[in-house]
Amino acid sequence: MLHGKAKDEQWNNQIKEKLSPSLQEEIPFQDAAWPLPFVPGLEYNSPAHGTWNIVHMGMLLPGSHQIYVCGANCNRGVILTAAEMNAGDRFSFVEIKEEDLFNGQMEDLVIEGVSDILHKLPKKPSVVLLFTVCVHHFMGCDLNYIYDTLRSRFPEQCFVDCYMDPIMQKEGLTPDQKLRNALYKPLPMREKNLKQINIIGNDFPTREETELKTIAKAAGYTVKDITECEGYEEYLSMSESFLNIACYPLAKYGAEQLSKRLGMKFLYLPFSFHYDEINAQLKSLVKEMPGAVMPDTSLLRKRCERILQETKELVGDTKITIDATVVPRLLGLTRLLISHGFSVERIFTDAFSAEEKEDYLWLKENTPNLKVCATIHPNMRVYPRNPQEKILAIGQKAAYFSGTEHFVNMVEGGGLHGYDGICELCQKIQQAYQTKKDTKDLVVRKGLGCESCI
């Protein structure tokens, strides 16, 4: 029996053995804990910036003007994003200075600052997306008073409460989830059109060839999406839809809230890489739309299998890396490719999605040596990026960390969905294998798909 120092050393060694894998920036999948494979700490921010932030998302709402109330250090990032989008005319800010934290006049600062901006705009916007920040939480700022006052001063404008509060990233709703909810708050109650549906919360239009859209349009349904609305009135017409569909996980909360508020039906149909789940989704969709016809899923599956096989024959045993920014279900994509013979060597992620426990367990059992790499671990700043062989990356961060010019340049699902989404992704993989891209130039451009002046 151990006592004293020997017992302490044994205990320390046991703890070290438990923690040491996750303290590294790269670990085998068999050592990857669920749902956080790495211990949180100091974070590194790679130069791969294709994912959208809250400024990009806010610009989707036609006729809106964004106003941020924060310190100069925080303002810098959002101002640059708006400028890089060539959308500076739809963006303003109120700067908080140190004395504003102590003089007891924060509410007045926000109200008068926003009022001054609106009075000076050449044309008042239909919607004001007002972003408050972390400091307003810390101070217990009376946000209700602020919004009530602004709405009474500017009755023709719709004020929407938005938040840039990264302190909430790991607890409760994230700023991303909050904004995907806020973007639909201006929609009023209207009589429902039983031949119109909405896709809610995406950053990219859903491909016209997806089963979701082809089924709906073949049955005479109109599909509305904020990403395709050309004006404020068209956006408001989304209120008339009887069904809301969320395909992106971070949009689910907002779509549910909108459905409850306006008395709409709701379906959650995420981009899946499992045939059975896709079939179940299509059945749910057809069930909610009278007159819609279920497609022959056996033919759709055969097409998927054929294109997967063609893609595998093309890329052969080329090593593949994938990152979590390319699709919401990283583990599902990884499992699909590995089960079809692809040589997936590494995945880059800092956490696993709660929706992917089954895929996590499958990979743990079948690919214990698959490498899991962090993207924000400090050691990633010096991660070796000079491969000695050809690497095919799926996603911008995978391309950056792998040091390859052969990559699929896509983020957040890219508007893909269902069987068609798998087939289209295979086409992108084939193209990436055959064609080089200028990785250093492409990945630094903020908000893939948005206009960029970089």
Q: How far is CA 324 from CA 123, 129, 201, 375, in A?
A: 41, 29, 19, 9
Q: What is the mean pLDDT of residues 74-85?
A: 91
**Same domain? 235 vs 328:** no
Q: What is the mean pLDDT of residues 35-49?
A: 92
Give me the number of domains the chain comprises.
Answer: 3
pLDDT at 210 over 90: yes
User: What are residue 63's phi and psi, to 5 degrees?
Assistant: 75, 10
**Same domain? 410 vs 340:** yes
Q: What is the mean pLDDT of residues 74-88?
A: 91
pLDDT at 20 over 60: no
Report yes or no on 28 lying in a domain: no
**Same domain? 256 vs 364:** no
We report the CATH number of the domain holding residue 130 as 3.40.50.1980
**Same domain? 174 vs 211:** no
pLDDT at 16 over 50: no
Report yes or no on 384 lying in a domain: yes
* Residue scoring higher pLDDT (298 or 175): 298
Report yes or no on 8 lying in a domain: no
Residue 87 burial by Cβ neighbours in a 10 Å radius (0-12, 13-18, 19+)? middle
Residue after which a domain boundary falls, among 271, 288, 305: 288
pLDDT at 232 over 60: yes
Q: What is the mean pLDDT of residues 196-219?
A: 98
Per-residue pLDDT, 170: 63
Q: What is the pLDDT of residues 159-200, one digit of tens each?
A: 999 998 877 656 778 889 999 999 999 999 999 999 999 999
Token pair of 282 as six digits: 């299509």
Half-sphere exposure of 444 (CA within 13 A, CB side): 7
Residue after which a domain boundary falls, among 288, 312, 344: 288
**Same domain? 301 vs 431:** yes
On whether the pTM is more than 0.85, the answer is yes
Q: What is the mean pLDDT of residues 367-376?
A: 97
User: Which of 157-166, 167-176, 254-263, 374-383 shows the highest mean pLDDT?
Assistant: 254-263
Report yes or no on 117 lying in a domain: yes
**Same domain? 254 vs 317:** no
Domain of 262 in residue numbering reads as 193-288
**Same domain? 259 vs 332:** no
pLDDT at 246 over 60: yes
**Same domain? 305 vs 434:** yes
**Same domain? 428 vs 303:** yes
**Same domain? 170 vs 216:** no
Report yes or no on 310 lying in a domain: yes
Q: Which of 37-51, 177-191, 288-302 is least confident?
A: 37-51
**Same domain? 198 vs 223:** yes
Encode 368-383 in three state secondary structure. Answer: CCCEEECCCCHHHHHC
Report yes or no on 215 lying in a domain: yes
**Same domain? 172 vs 202:** no
pLDDT at 22 over 60: no
